[in-house]
A and B are shown apart, each in its own frame.
Chain A
Amino acid sequence: MADMRTPLNKVRGLGSARGGTEHFWRQRLTAVSNIPLMLFFFGFVAVYAGAPYEEVRAALAQPVVALLIGLAFISVLYHMRLGMQVIIEDYVHDEGWKIALIILNTFFPIVVGAIALYALLRIAFGG
């Protein structure tokens, strides 16, 4: 069937992937939230690196600390998934590999997030 639409017309509006600027926007949004959250997390790790068990647990059990670190993980994991997706799309040209890696790129941040949030909640609620 002859396609009468021009290439330009196909990508207008939401673009060929129908996603519009969502990816771009969420990358920026999480970039902004990452700045204070990761500065806090970096500071926390720098202060508590090498500290004894009880001291680290007591620090992580504080509500503000647990919430900020939890938010830092959520923000960073979302941000890095978007970034890695672009890297995969730029360098992996084989369709099969591309789809497999895009799927793994969704699983990996979720697994890391699950581990981090489980650990934070367990410490916070004294498990």
Chain B
Amino acid sequence: MSKSTIQARPLSPHLQIYRFTPTMAMSIAHRITGGALYFGTLLFALWLLAAAGSLEQFDFVNGLFGSIIGRIVIFGYSWVLIHHMLGGIRHLIWDTVHGLEKETSRRLAIANLVGSILLTLVIWVAAWAIRGGL
């Protein structure tokens, strides 16, 4: 690398120097939720694999997913998914150069959190209703 690129340049200060804001929190959450979703895909691939296998294999995996911990993980995963999805929609809005104003982006950040909780609950309740109707 040439000398010109490694001369001392001003660096932006790191995270801890900034005042905590909703946009900052949702930005961090977007990355953490993305990382969690990454590894969780394996769980659902294994669920499909178990369904493709024998009854015993399926019941074993279904038993794990149906346990208290399994239910918490799956419900948590679904909320994390919706949170990341709404966060992504926020990014797509920003890509069109809309919603970048301070107050608008702050409201979008809060809407991201509130919306993710509401939408997750709505989908689970709807699924429950559909299953009850089966």
CB contact under 8 A between A50 and B48, given known A31-B88, A34-B85, A112-B42: no
CB contact under 8 A between A43 and B35, given known A6-B4, A115-B46: no
In the complex, A42→B62 CA distance in Å? 16
Chain A CB count within 10 A is highest, among B44, B46, B51, for B51
Smallest beta-carbon distance B6→chain A, Å: 10
In the complex, A119→B130 CA distance in Å? 25
Query: Using Cβ atoms and an 8 Å threshold, which residues of chain B touch A17?
Result: none
In the complex, A45→B93 CA distance in Å? 28
Q: Render A1-37 as a binary contact track against B, CB cut-off 8 A, 1 for contact.
A: 0010011000000000000000000001001101100
CB contact under 8 A between A119 and B41, given known A38-B81, A83-B34: no
Question: Contact: A42 with B5, CB < 8 Å?
Answer: no
Question: Contact: B51 with A123, CB < 8 Å?
Answer: yes
Number of interface residues of A (CB under 8 A): 43
* CB contacts between A and B, total, < 8 Å: 106
Q: Among the listed A43, A45, A87, A118, which residue makes an inter-chain contact with B44, where contact means beta carbons less than 8 Å apart?
A: A45
> B100: CB under 8 A from chain A?
no
Smallest beta-carbon distance B134→chain A, Å: 8
Chain A CB count within 10 A is highest, among B5, B37, B48, for B48
Question: For the side of the interface on B, what is the size category?
Answer: 35 or more
Query: Using Cβ atoms and an 8 Å threshold, which residues of chain B touch A43?
Result: 123, 126-127
Q: Is the interface of B mostly helix, strand, loop or mixed?
A: helix
Question: Contact: B41 with A42, CB < 8 Å?
Answer: no
Question: Contact: B74 with A45, CB < 8 Å?
Answer: yes
> A84: CB under 8 A from chain B?
yes
CB contact under 8 A between A80 and B34, given known A45-B74, A47-B127: yes
Question: Contact: A49 with B74, CB < 8 Å?
Answer: yes
* Known A31-B88, A123-B48; 6 more pairs at CB < 8 Å: A76-B41, A80-B37, A87-B34, A112-B45, A120-B48, A123-B52
23 examples of A-B residue contacts, CB within 8 angstroms: A7-B4, A34-B88, A35-B85, A39-B123, A43-B123, A43-B126, A43-B127, A46-B78, A46-B123, A46-B126, A46-B127, A47-B130, A50-B62, A56-B51, A60-B48, A76-B41, A83-B38, A112-B45, A116-B49, A118-B52, A119-B45, A120-B52, A123-B51
> What 10 A-B pairs are tightest by C-beta distance, nearest first?
A46-B127, A119-B48, A119-B52, A115-B45, A116-B45, A122-B52, A119-B49, A3-B2, A47-B127, A80-B38
